[in-house]
Amino acid sequence: MVPRTKIVTLTQFIIQRQSEYPHAKGALTRLLNDIATAAKIVNREINAAGLVDILGSSGKENVQGEAQKKLDVFANDMFITALKGGGECCAIASEENEKVISFSNEFSELGKYVIAMDPLDGSSNIESNVSIGTIFSIYRRITEVGGGTIEDLLQPGVNLVASGYIIYGSSTMLVYTTGKGVNGFTLDPSVGIFCLSHPDMRFPEISNIYSINEGNYIYFPEAVKQYIKYCQQDDESSGRPYTSRYIGSLVADFHRNLIKGGIFLYPGTKKMPDGKLRLLYECNPIAFLAEQAGGKASNGFKRIMEINPQTLHQRAPLFVGSRRMVEKVESYIQKYA
Ligand code: AHG
Ligand code: MN
Ligand code: MN
């Protein structure tokens, strides 16, 4: 094998980008590095699942009444610890915590940023060795002093400074955007460093994957049922029938669709009118990445990133992926509204 000689590490890449912002003082660089450090530790634990006692339920439930897995709790603790210790972040909202975690020590309260995160996404897949992820959103704080508050977190996606995910898959990747395109870094496990592997990620022009949990079909709105029918029709010119792929980890489903071209749908249903996915730490960060990769993210009527959040754990219907596919679903939803 020919050794690779040209390597751009995540840290180098962020610093190079930072030079494009004359007033930047490196805070965002340090914040992203803190996230990468926590991700590496979570990754180590995931890789050892089955060997160490990390699989299974923690015996507790989160605020949404969902059973917490041991890995949900471990990942949550790890990201909180890394971000608290880093000093750039003054508050966190997490799927696993009912309220905002405010860092009011003299070190962190000076932090200019707040983070919303899903520390472990797709946790129903942990036991079966299927890809899982971490999702994060970074906002500039609104309050000026002390630990961050809920006011700092309840910001629409259009205010995002950065967002990204880590996918713990056949390899581990960190994919992020600061609003200047999307870049992906693969963890080289032999040295424990994220290296640039997917520069300037864009949805491909030709897209033919749709991802939806069709087990819920009976509860879907008529518009979504009709769109699924459209996906399954025979039409050579538009590449239909499309291929159906659904993992059940938003990060993994989105990542595949970003690489191969496709749409992910989690609509509102009769049982859950706003769907399942959480606006602050699932929909918004993924929406920012989608838009930066030339795609689109919508709740059927408007841009996900323009929704004004009212509560920390609020949900939103999500249609995200290749632009034309999302526009097609929107046309169905608006027609049947
Ligand atoms: P989490 O593990 O953080 O609770 O998220 C699971 C989410 C998301 O990753 C996935 O797209 C969706 O739930 C799957 O839901 P269904 O099992 O209802 O399809
Ligand atoms: Mn999730
Ligand atoms: Mn989760």
- Provide DSSP, 28-55: HHHHHHHHHHHHHHHHHHHHTBTTBTT-
Provide the pLDDT for residue 56: 83
In the chain, pLDDT over 90 holds for what percent of residues?
83
Q: Write the pLDDT tens digit of every residue in 55-73.
A: 888 888 887 888 888 999 9
Domain boundaries, the chain: 4-198, 209-335
Domain 209-335 has CATH 2.60.40.10: no
- Cβ–Cβ < 8 Å for 88, 31: yes
pLDDT of residue 68: 87
Q: Give per-residue pLDDT as tens, 305-320.
A: 999 999 999 999 999 9
pLDDT, greater one: 124 or 3: 124
Give the mutation target among 76, 214, 256, 276 for probing the ligand 1 site: most ligand atoms within 8 A of CB: 276
- Check pocket membership of 133 for ligand 1, CB cut-off 6 A: no
Q: Are 319 and 299 in contact (CB under 8 A)?
A: yes
Contact between 213 and 223 (Cβ < 8 Å): no
CA of 277 to the centre of ligand 1 (A): 7
| 147 within 8 A of 111, measured Cβ to Cβ | no
Q: What is the average pLDDT value for the chain, to the nearest integer?
A: 94
pLDDT surpassing 70 at residue 332? yes
Question: What interhelical angle do 222-232 and 323-336 show, nearest 10?
Answer: 140
121 Cβ below 6 A of ligand 1: yes
Distances (CA, A) of 172 to 45, 94, 111, 321: 13, 22, 28, 21
Beta carbons of 241 and 271 less than 8 angstroms apart: no
pLDDT over 70 at 22, yes or no = no
Q: Which fold has domain 4-198?
A: Fructose-1,6-Bisphosphatase; Chain A, domain 1 (3.30.540)
Does this model's pTM top 0.75? My answer is: yes
